Amino acid sequence: MKGLQGKSIIVTGGGSGIGEAAALLLGEAGCKVTIADLDGGKARNVADQIVQRGGTASAVEADVSDEASVIAMVDHAISQFGGLDGACNAAGVPQRGKLLHEVDLEEWDLCHGVNLRGLFLCNKYQIKAMLAKGGAIVNIASTAAMVGFPNGAEYCASKAGVLGLTRGSAIDYATRGIRINSVMPGGTLTPMLKGAMANDPGLEPALAAVHPMNRFAQPAEIATAARWLLSDEASFTTGAAFAIDGGHTAI
């Protein structure tokens, strides 16, 4: 894909699910991939897979909700690969599967601390690193940013915030060579969705019913959209929110 070869790209949440699939696709495309995850072991495992396939990758343990950790993550990518050209921000935590009046403040803070505050911190320091030469950022939101999910209001709110942050910052940096877009996956078969469905027996049938394709996505079906948005083939695309959702938000 045009313009990916040799690019230094960070993937947060790159140790699992959608982030892992994005990291593997970017590695295949010739990017130098920094895989950042709260779980350093998972990040190393994905970096090893890329290197075994002949690609270039480095792993870093990072907590996206912690400012010092995010700064260290960006510094890691720059010191390993000489700069930063792009990022796919996929780190996230799921809904608690509760009605809103049952959600504790700690649960709200964890959800928003990772999904929105963490995304802000990542974008802030990634943009700083890209100001001189430009770049591209993909923020992984969710269809939950557009439509309500049962027992997940705090998650829906965090993902709606991702769209707002993406749109607002996209217009601010549009003339500075930095494109910022979001992808809204529908239900995707990752450890997160499988865990959420195991915790909330009503979730699987409720979610399946709202996907017109009558199935969930494989992580690579979401990651291909991120790969395109990071490439030069998406050179006129910024501030967009792409639903990759089997038709969910078309209903």
Query: Residue numbers of the site for ligand NAD (CB under 6 A)?
Result: 12-13, 15-19, 37-39, 42, 62-65, 90-93, 114, 118, 140, 142, 185, 187-188, 190-193
Length of the chain in terms of residues written: 251
Determine the Cα–Cα distance for residues 220 and 45; give it in Å rounded to an integer. 17
173 is catalytic: no
Return the structure tokens found at 242: 């792409």
Whole-number minimum distance, CB 172 to ligand NAD, in Å? Answer: 23
Decide whether 4 or 88 has the Cβ nearer to ligand NAD.
88
Decide whether 82 or 195 has the Cβ nearer to ligand NAD.
195
Q: Are 40 and 65 in contact (CB under 8 A)?
A: no
Helix H or strand E encompassing 112: helix 105-112
Beta-bridge partner residues of 32: 8, 56
Whole-number minimum distance, CB 121 to ligand NAD, in Å? Answer: 10
101 Cβ contact partners less than 8 Å away, ≥ 6 residues apart = none
Decide whether 5 or 218 has the Cβ nearer to ligand NAD.
218
Nearest-5° angle of CA 87, CA 242, CA 206? 115
Q: Nearest residue to ligand NAD, using CB?
A: 17
81, 125, 149, 155: the catalytic one is 155
Question: Which residue is associated with the tokens 């939950």?
Answer: 144
Taking alpha carbons only, the member of 242, 187, 227 closest to residue 24 is 227
Decide whether 140 or 241 has the Cβ nearer to ligand NAD.
140
Residues with a known catalytic role: 155
